[in-house]
């Protein structure tokens, strides 16, 4: 933890003014599936940078490290008038995906987002809605508002789920994250893929390029006929 010193009075006074100058950050993007608004990383960084620069504050990530699946970021906030500065850091889990570079960049963006929010006390958005789109293309589907009723997926659908798992470098990790996302969405406990709701599993298939045919009780690559 960073030690606070009395000689940083001017710095903290400037941070206070920056906090007063930023009540909230507007939502500038919309989730295509859930149809809810959220604040993008670009909007968060731009808004926080503006209020800091207006109060003679410069904020920067000075360096970062990747260790055991986490990015460790080191930040400095500098007061240009007094020369006083504060150094601190945070860590963010890297969510595995097909493209490791994008996963690391997403974690770095999220780390920056939360560092800015913490130093400026930026309020969160409504409960259940992400304030930043930080997930890779291979991440679990963003969850729309929780439905009031749902039906359990039929056995043939869960058996066909191997088609999706075959696209994953780490199937076990994907299933774990999938179940966790479904539990948050439906507020129910799911022990295995076969316990998932039919509508949710259908969405996962479609997200990975598979069409679900309830009539034929099969899944097939999008665009293929019954053949």
For 104-155, how does the pLDDT look when each residue is reduced to its tens digit (9 = 90+)? 988 898 899 889 989 998 875 544 444 444 444 344 444 444 555 678 888 8
Is residue 49 a part of any domain in this protein? yes
Given a cut of 80, whether residue 32 has pLDDT beyond it is no
pLDDT, position 130:
44
Is residue 44 a part of any domain in this protein? yes
Do residues 92 and 108 touch, judged by C-beta distance below 8 A? yes
The answer to whether residues 161 and 216 belong to one domain is: yes
**Residue 18 CA to its chain's centroid (Å):** 26
The answer to whether residues 31 and 88 belong to one domain is: yes
The answer to whether residues 73 and 174 belong to one domain is: no
Is residue 209 a part of any domain in this protein? yes
The answer to whether residues 112 and 177 belong to one domain is: no
pLDDT, position 142:
46
The answer to whether residues 115 and 162 belong to one domain is: no
Closest CA relative to residue 43, chosen from 109, 119, 126, 128: 109
Question: Among 120, 146, 179, which residue terminates a domain?
Answer: 120
177-208 residue pLDDT tens: 888 888 878 778 888 888 888 888 888 888 88
Number of domains comprising the chain: 2
The answer to whether residues 112 and 160 belong to one domain is: no
The answer to whether residues 36 and 116 belong to one domain is: yes
- Residue 209 belongs to domain spanning: 155-221
* Beta-carbon contacts of residue 161 (< 8 Å; ≥ 6 apart): 193, 201, 205
Question: Among 120, 138, 168, which residue terminates a domain?
Answer: 120
156-171 residue pLDDT tens: 888 888 888 887 778 8
The answer to whether residues 87 and 162 belong to one domain is: no
Distance of CA 183 to CAs 40, 151, 187, Å? Answer: 25, 14, 5
Given a cut of 80, whether residue 3 has pLDDT beyond it is no
**CA–CA dist 148, 4 (Å, integer):** 49
* Beta-carbon contacts of residue 188 (< 8 Å; ≥ 6 apart): 182
Is residue 129 a part of any domain in this protein? no
Please report, in angstroms and rounded to a whole number, the separation of the first and last CA atoms in the chain: 63
Q: How confident is the model at residue 51 (pLDDT cuts 50, 70, 90)?
A: very high
pLDDT, position 18:
94
The answer to whether residues 186 and 97 belong to one domain is: no
């Amino acid at each position: 933890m960073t030690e606070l010193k009395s000689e940083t009075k001017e710095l903290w006074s400037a941070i206070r003014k920056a906090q007063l100058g930023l009540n909230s950050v507007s939502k500038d993007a919309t989730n295509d599936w859930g149809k809810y608004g959220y604040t993008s990383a670009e909007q968060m960084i731009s808004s926080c940078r503006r209020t800091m620069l207006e109060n003679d504050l410069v904020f920067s990530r000075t360096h970062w490290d990747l260790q055991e699946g986490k990015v460790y970021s080191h930040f400095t906030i500098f007061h240009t008038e007094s020369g006083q500065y504060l150094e601190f850091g945070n860590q963010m889990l890297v969510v595995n995906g097909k493209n490791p570079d994008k996963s690391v960049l997403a974690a770095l963006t999220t780390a920056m987002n939360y560092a800015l929010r913490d130093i400026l006390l930026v309020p969160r958005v409504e409960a259940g809605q992400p304030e930043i789109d930080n997930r890779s293309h291979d991440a679990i589907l963003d969850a729309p508002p929780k439905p009031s009723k749902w039906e359990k997926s039929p056995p043939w659908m869960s058996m066909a789920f191997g088609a999706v798992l075959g696209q994953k470098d780490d199937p076990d990790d994907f299933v774990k994250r999938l179940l966790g996302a479904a539990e948050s969405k439906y507020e129910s406990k799911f022990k295995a893929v076969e316990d998932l709701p039919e509508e949710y599993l259908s969405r996962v298939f479609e997200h990975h390029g598979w069409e679900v045919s309830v009539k034929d009780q099969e899944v097939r690559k999008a665009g293929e006929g019954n053949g």
